[in-house]
Amino acid sequence: MQSVFPQVTKSALTYEVIAQCSTSKARASTMTLPHGPVETPMFMPVATQASLKGLTPEQLEDLGCKICLNNTYHLGLKPGKDVLDTIGGAHKLQSWSRNILTDSGGFQMVSLLKLATITEEGVRFLSPHDGTPMLLTPEHSIELQNSIGSDIIMQLDDVVHTLTTGPRVEEAMHRSIRWLDRCIAANKNPERQNLFAIIQGGLDLDLRRTCCIEMANRNTPGIAIGGLSGGEAKEQFCEVHVFIIVSYCTDLLPRNKPIYVMGVGYAEDMLVSVALGVDLFDCVYPTRTARFGNAITAKGVLNLRNKCFATDYSPVEEDCTCPICTPKSNGGMGITRSLIHHLAAKETSGAHMLTLHNVHYQLNLMRAAREAIIRDEFPSFIKNFFATLHGGNKEKFPQWAVNALRTVNIDLLDDSR
């Protein structure tokens, strides 16, 4: 299809597919951004207010993180545009020499829904700073993101909760397209800041199709699939729809651009999405759950506040190569479950340690998936993953995952394929 928006063909990234899974839609790529290459599939940790919850940028870099998120809405409030302009952007603010992606603030419409109202003009909310009414428009969001200087900037979109039905979904989808056009027009730095479109349309395939076609026409450097996560607590019954949507969109979207599913961060969700052709993920889940004392491991999530871990002196995860699980004799911290139990929810450094572990888990999972794709062993990799997670018990495999993977020729229940 001919692009009707030639002015936005400008892109500040290169996207090269390194390997393609011969069974599923999974792919391993290298996306080169202004602050260095990002190897996909990639999980992007969320440093909402220019800090990854207690970790120093050095710790994050040591984990191998190449790109992290900042949030436009929050940085617009603190430290504010003027300060960002004076300092010279968010990279300088947080001394982070790698890539930054900024969310537009649209997601806050869902997460802080009661706190905001949405009009065609933009989002109205009360400043948490002084309680005065404020308006976030697409232009304002892009202006802020230009000041932030992030390598990937997101359009302001009209986000509705995943389970919303009725005309509101369609309204939000069309408004998101209109807002994309306003965002494209407002972006002052297309040569160094990549504007990503965000596909909306709820769980309605027709709306999603319209949105994909319209937005692909705008030829943005990358495309996100939005509206699939209204917070972490997704209802099980809707997950199958979620992945049908993801798969439907990746089929419609151009294959030469990075595809990003916003707000998805559970290990199972990410791997299934990778199989469906997704490159990028972000989620606050691993860092937030760390602060609740939860450790993500290949065998499932451990709530280390549970009394049974008080006298468990094994590492958080056996054979894990993260800084806290690596034994002291190998240069790690040699942290035990017992110590985390001792600190969880009582001392912040306990939360910081689990944050290190959880972020490492996410990054490492994506690294391993990438290597499996390059070796063209992704189907057996994802089968192993589900087998380990559920202790080899296939009956425990979630039906939505089985169904979703069958659409890309991977049968979790069949060891021969």
| Residues belonging to the active site | 103, 282
Rg (CA), the chain: 21
Q: How far apart are CA 49 and CA 90, in angstroms?
A: 10
Q: How far apart are CA 147 and CA 311, in angstroms?
A: 50
φ/ψ of 379, rounded to 5, equals: -60, -45
Query: How many Cα atoms are found within 13 Å in the side-chain-facing hemisphere of 49?
Result: 7
- Residue closer to another protein by CB (options 348, 399) is 348
Q: In angstroms, give the least distance from the CB of 204 to another protein.
A: 28
- Footprint on residues 334-373 left by another protein (CB under 8 A): 334-336, 338-339, 341-343, 346-353, 356
Partner residues linked to 31 by β-bridges: 15, 38
Do residues 323 and 355 lie in contact, with contact meaning Cβ atoms separated by under 8 Å? Answer: no
- Footprint on residues 299-328 left by another protein (CB under 8 A): 310-311, 313, 323-324, 328
Q: In angstroms, give the least distance from the CB of 155 to another protein.
A: 23
Binding segment (CB under 8 A) for another protein, from list 36-44, 218-226, 238-246, 332-340: 332-340
CA dihedral 367, 229, 275, 356 (to 10 degrees): 10
Q: In angstroms, give the least distance from the CB of 17 to another protein.
A: 36
- Footprint on residues 55-114 left by another protein (CB under 8 A): 55-59, 74, 78-80, 83, 86-87, 92-95, 112, 114
Q: In angstroms, give the least distance from the CB of 101 to another protein.
A: 19
Angle, CA of 145, 146 and 152, to the nearest 5°: 60
Q: Is 288 in the site for another protein (CB under 8 A)?
A: no
Give Cα separations from 211 to 204, 214, 227 (angstroms): 11, 5, 12
φ/ψ of 29, rounded to 5, equals: -135, 170
* Burial of 380: CB neighbours in 10 Å, binned 0-12, 13-18, 19+: middle
- Residue closer to another protein by CB (options 115, 185) is 115
> Among 218, 244, 242, which residue's Cα sits nearest to residue 229?
242
Q: How far apart are CA 296 and CA 84, in angstroms?
A: 35
Q: In angstroms, give the least distance from the CB of 126 to another protein.
A: 5
DSSP string, 92-152: HHHT--SEEEEE-STTHHHHTGGGEEE-SS-EEEE-TTT--EEEE-HHHHHHHHHHHT-SE
Angle, CA of 320, 368 and 341, to the nearest 5°: 25
- Residue closer to another protein by CB (options 51, 217) is 51
Q: In angstroms, give the least distance from the CB of 334 to another protein.
A: 6
Instruction: Give the per-residue contact string, 381-410, with another protein (x = CB under 8 A; - = no).
Output: ------------------------------
Partner residues linked to 37 by β-bridges: 32
Q: In angstroms, give the least distance from the CB of 46 to another protein.
A: 12
Query: How many Cα atoms are found within 13 Å in the side-chain-facing hemisphere of 185?
Result: 9
- Residue closer to another protein by CB (options 97, 388) is 97
Binding segment (CB under 8 A) for another protein, from list 21-29, 43-51, 184-192, 376-384: 43-51
Q: In angstroms, give the least distance from the CB of 286 to another protein.
A: 16
Instruction: Give the count of beta carbons closer than 10 Å to the beta carbon of residue 25.
Output: 22
- Residue closer to another protein by CB (options 250, 355) is 355
- Footprint on residues 112-171 left by another protein (CB under 8 A): 112, 114-117, 124-126, 128-129, 131, 133
Q: What residues line the site for another protein (CB under 8 A)?
A: 49-59, 74, 78-80, 83, 86-87, 92-95, 112, 114-117, 124-126, 128-129, 131, 133, 310-311, 313, 323-324, 328, 333-336, 338-339, 341-343, 346-353, 356
